[in-house]
A and B are shown apart, each in its own frame.
Chain A
Amino acid sequence: MAEKLLEVKNLCVSFKTRKGVVRAVNNLSFSINHGEVLGIVGESGSGKSVSMSAVMGLIKDENAEITGEVFFNGEDLLKKSDEELRAIRGKDIAMVFQDPMTALTPVYTIGWHIREQLQLHSDISDKDAKARAIELLEEVGIPDPEKRVDQYPHEFSGGMRQRAIIAMALSLNPKLLIADEPTTALDVTIQAQILDLLERLRKTYNSSIIIITHDMGVVSELSSEVLVMYAGRMVERSTKSSLFANPQHPYTKGLMNSVPRVDRARTSRLETISGQPASLLNLPSGCAFRNRCPSAHAACTEQPTFISDSNGYGAACFLLTEGVRS
């Protein structure tokens, strides 16, 4: 088997606060191969963004405690100094954030931003960098790139800005692109275009993509594998097709049922997952989802182990073990 591009093992992130310790990410383990797309799904506060920030070394809070191992190309990122990480950020691992409206410094032109990204990691002249920026803008589908390159972020629409940010992120041909809810702040019509763009660029550049989202639609468009998180833990991991066809964990089932579907008869109101997301300050004992779970039973007061097959696919739920037993 080829070496994994990114392998996260037992990643834990916790924050000390005045009210107690917030366990934002708990024992997260996953991996991604070259050229793959992994979707990380979960509601707000499930730890999906925090875990990616931890991977990138972007958590600056002195109250944060990060343990575990993050192997990127065989090297543990968590053991690296800030200086060493900086050489990797932007070059080998690039990131695209949720809100394109605020993600660029307003006083610099789009071209300036791309040039900065190029010059942070390579010795490229201003002139060449600008030419490359124009090329990149053209590639992500921005019309009239020679003119647009000298425009400021406020002169771009949201979708155009996100395209420009993607162009910037891909400018150094990174091995991994982490997209943190890249379409959430955009119009629905633009969302599909951005997802198409990501997919097209993945094929051209052969980058791996981790896409963080709470939108099952985004997952279905893009991912080959899906990881579902709840309250800082991975509750299910599966291929996209089997996840949609046969979700294992009750939380995943709940997520699926709360998406409107055209292939099902409209019999009743759309289902929701009852209750509130678990508070990370005060997690229930055992399975964090048990207070909202329709199948909860006595065993759930213990923490279920993640039961997986040889591919690492599986779920953390007692229903599976009991299913196996019966």
Chain B
Amino acid sequence: MTRFVIKRLAAAVFVLVSISILVFLIFFATPGVDPAARIAGRNADQLTLQQVRATFDLDKPLHIRYVSMMKHLFIDRDLTSYVNRGAEVLPQLTQAIPATLSLVFGAAIIWLLLGLILGITAAGMRKSWVDPAIGIIGIIGVSLPVYWLGEVVNLITQGRLHATLFRWVPPLGYVPFTESPGGWFLALLFPWLTLSLLYAGIYIRVIRSEIVSLMQEDFIKTERAKGAGEKRILIKHASRMSLITVVSLFGLDFGALVGGSALLTEVVFGIQGVGRLTFTALQNFDLPLIMATVMYAAFFIVIANAIVDLVYAWIDPRVRRG
């Protein structure tokens, strides 16, 4: 197991370095494009261009430019945005990261709980009305677009009812946990519920169908012949086996969301997260910021996947080898 962990982490580092090189090449070595002009923004004067060339070592060979860029990004952390007139890039990112992480982590806990509880219940009560009822809940969850649902939630909690029933709901936006844990929780409660509903719908369906097919397996027959009860078979065997699928699915979803896919939820609920930051950067063509957010997103997807693989090995002994 230890060897597996080391190997997996080494692979993650390798992927991260490769991504940084790839991203760097796309931004700084695309033929026919002057990166200085791009970084400086539209209609920049000669002086600014000179300055850009100097800070990013753009007149030096490619590998030195790469090293210099990584130094700005990770060591000196002084990458500045020219479009935004000298605003430093990394502080914006370090402010956005906790917001996105809080949003996605909280939503993930809710959707995993909902998915597991309802998915297992539906599979276990396949012959009663409960299964189709849960199925309908799942379909509703999957079919409601996040931006629409979010706006409806806002309309209810921030609109006319805000004065009475929903007085306790804070105004839109993110409250850092360090500032006020209670405020953090209340501000994120509805974004969590909104974001998790979609994924809960997917997970309920995946977990249910996974368990239903696992219940046909030979090892379930063995358990019945051993005299194990149906409940024990459902929980200890079928549901336990279904976790293998859940974990691999979760790794992809979680990585993508942390990497910026939570954009719609962030916009609707006014949360200044990574998705929204990337979106603004793209609109303004703010190259240093785009680079930083892309690197960040890649970083989180790779980390999330590495963690998933480790959890995967922990819950499925068959992948531990090697």
Neighbouring A residues of B241 by C-beta, 8 Å: 105-107
Contact A107 B315, beta carbon cutoff 8 Å: yes
- Considering the complex, which residues of chain B in the window 64-122 have a beta carbon less than 8 Å from any beta carbon of chain A? none
Assuming the contacts A106-B316, A154-B317, asked whether A97 and B227 have C-beta atoms less than 8 A apart, the reply is no
User: Does B240 sit within 8 A of A, measured CB to CB?
Assistant: yes
Neighbouring A residues of B217 by C-beta, 8 Å: 102
- Give the total of A residues in contact with B, Cβ under 8 Å: 27
User: Does B226 sit within 8 A of A, measured CB to CB?
Assistant: yes
- Considering the complex, which residues of chain B in the window 220-244 have a beta carbon less than 8 Å from any beta carbon of chain A? 221-229, 237, 240-241, 244
User: Does A9 sit within 8 A of B, measured CB to CB?
Assistant: no
Inter-chain CA distance A88–B224, complex, in Å, is 11
Contact A116 B218, beta carbon cutoff 8 Å: no
Contact A95 B228, beta carbon cutoff 8 Å: no
Q: With both chains docked as a complex, state the minimum distance between the C-beta of A286 and any C-beta of chain B, in angstroms.
A: 35
B233 — nearest CB in chain A belongs to which residue? A105
Contact A152 B317, beta carbon cutoff 8 Å: yes
Neighbouring A residues of B223 by C-beta, 8 Å: 105
Contact B227 A99, beta carbon cutoff 8 Å: no
Contact B316 A87, beta carbon cutoff 8 Å: no
What are the interface flags for A201-214 relative to B under an 8 Å C-beta threshold, 1 for contact and 0 otherwise?
A: 00000000000000
Inter-chain CA distance A102–B217, complex, in Å, is 8
Neighbouring A residues of B244 by C-beta, 8 Å: 107
Q: With both chains docked as a complex, state the minimum distance between the C-beta of B166 and any C-beta of chain A, in angstroms.
A: 45
B317 — nearest CB in chain A belongs to which residue? A152
Contact B218 A152, beta carbon cutoff 8 Å: no
Inter-chain CA distance A99–B237, complex, in Å, is 18
Task: Give the contacting residue for B224; candidates A87, A89, A106; CB below 8 A.
Answer: A89
Neighbouring B residues of A88 by C-beta, 8 Å: 227
Assuming the contacts A90-B226, A120-B226, A120-B228, asked whether A103 and B240 have C-beta atoms less than 8 A apart, the reply is no
User: Does A316 sit within 8 A of B, measured CB to CB?
Assistant: no
Q: With both chains docked as a complex, state the minimum distance between the C-beta of A112 and any C-beta of chain B, in angstroms.
A: 10
- Considering the complex, which residues of chain B in the window 120-154 have a beta carbon less than 8 Å from any beta carbon of chain A? 127
Contact B219 A117, beta carbon cutoff 8 Å: no
Neighbouring A residues of B228 by C-beta, 8 Å: 86, 90, 116, 120
Task: Give the contacting residue for B225; candidates A62, A95, A104; CB below 8 A.
Answer: A95
Interface centre among B217, B226, B237 (most CB of A within 10 A): B226
User: Does B318 sit within 8 A of A, measured CB to CB?
Assistant: yes
Neighbouring B residues of A87 by C-beta, 8 Å: 227
Inter-chain CA distance A105–B317, complex, in Å, is 11
B315 — nearest CB in chain A belongs to which residue? A107
A152 — nearest CB in chain B belongs to which residue? B317
Neighbouring B residues of A165 by C-beta, 8 Å: 222
Contact A107 B227, beta carbon cutoff 8 Å: no
Contact A58 B317, beta carbon cutoff 8 Å: no
Contact A105 B237, beta carbon cutoff 8 Å: yes
Inter-chain CA distance A107–B316, complex, in Å, is 6
Neighbouring A residues of B218 by C-beta, 8 Å: 97, 99, 102-103
User: Does A94 sit within 8 A of B, measured CB to CB?
Assistant: yes
Neighbouring B residues of A106 by C-beta, 8 Å: 219, 241, 316-318
Task: Give the contacting residue for A97; candidates B221, B240, B318; CB below 8 A.
Answer: B221
User: Does A91 sit within 8 A of B, measured CB to CB?
Assistant: yes
- Considering the complex, which residues of chain A in the window 115-153 have a beta carbon less than 8 Å from any beta carbon of chain B? 116-117, 120-121, 152
User: Does A56 sit within 8 A of B, measured CB to CB?
Assistant: yes
Neighbouring B residues of A168 by C-beta, 8 Å: 226
Contact B226 A58, beta carbon cutoff 8 Å: no
Contact A104 B224, beta carbon cutoff 8 Å: no
Inter-chain CA distance A107–B247, complex, in Å, is 14
Neighbouring B residues of A91 by C-beta, 8 Å: 227
Contact A104 B227, beta carbon cutoff 8 Å: no
- Considering the complex, which residues of chain B in the window 236-273 have a beta carbon less than 8 Å from any beta carbon of chain A? 237, 240-241, 244
Contact B226 A104, beta carbon cutoff 8 Å: no
Neighbouring A residues of B315 by C-beta, 8 Å: 107
A104 — nearest CB in chain B belongs to which residue? B219
Neighbouring A residues of B229 by C-beta, 8 Å: 86
Contact B225 A89, beta carbon cutoff 8 Å: yes
Q: With both chains docked as a complex, state the minimum distance between the C-beta of A57 and any C-beta of chain B, in angstroms.
A: 9
Neighbouring A residues of B317 by C-beta, 8 Å: 106-107, 152, 154
Neighbouring B residues of A152 by C-beta, 8 Å: 317-318
- Considering the complex, which residues of chain A in the window 47-103 have a beta carbon less than 8 Å from any beta carbon of chain B? 56, 58, 62, 86-91, 94-95, 97, 99, 102-103
Neighbouring A residues of B224 by C-beta, 8 Å: 58, 89
Q: With both chains docked as a complex, state the minimum distance between the C-beta of A309 and any C-beta of chain B, in angstroms.
A: 34
Inter-chain CA distance A58–B230, complex, in Å, is 12
Interface centre among B127, B218, B315, B316 (most CB of A within 10 A): B218
Q: With both chains docked as a complex, state the minimum distance between the C-beta of B213 and any C-beta of chain A, in angstroms.
A: 13
Contact B227 A89, beta carbon cutoff 8 Å: yes
A82 — nearest CB in chain B belongs to which residue? B230
What are the interface flags for B209-221 relative to A under an 8 Å C-beta threshold, 1 for contact and 0 otherwise?
A: 0000000011101
A94 — nearest CB in chain B belongs to which residue? B225
B240 — nearest CB in chain A belongs to which residue? A107
Inter-chain CA distance A120–B217, complex, in Å, is 21
Interface centre among B222, B228, B244 (most CB of A within 10 A): B222
Name the 5 nearest CB pairs between A and B, nearest first. A90-B227, A95-B225, A89-B227, A102-B218, A90-B226
Could you pull out 10 A-B pairs where Cβ atoms are within 8 angstroms? A90-B225, A90-B227, A97-B218, A102-B218, A103-B218, A105-B223, A106-B241, A106-B318, A152-B318, A165-B222
With A97-B222, A120-B226, A120-B227 given, name 18 new contacts (CB 8 A): A58-B224, A86-B228, A88-B227, A89-B227, A90-B225, A90-B227, A97-B221, A102-B219, A103-B218, A103-B219, A104-B219, A107-B240, A107-B241, A116-B226, A120-B228, A152-B317, A154-B318, A165-B222
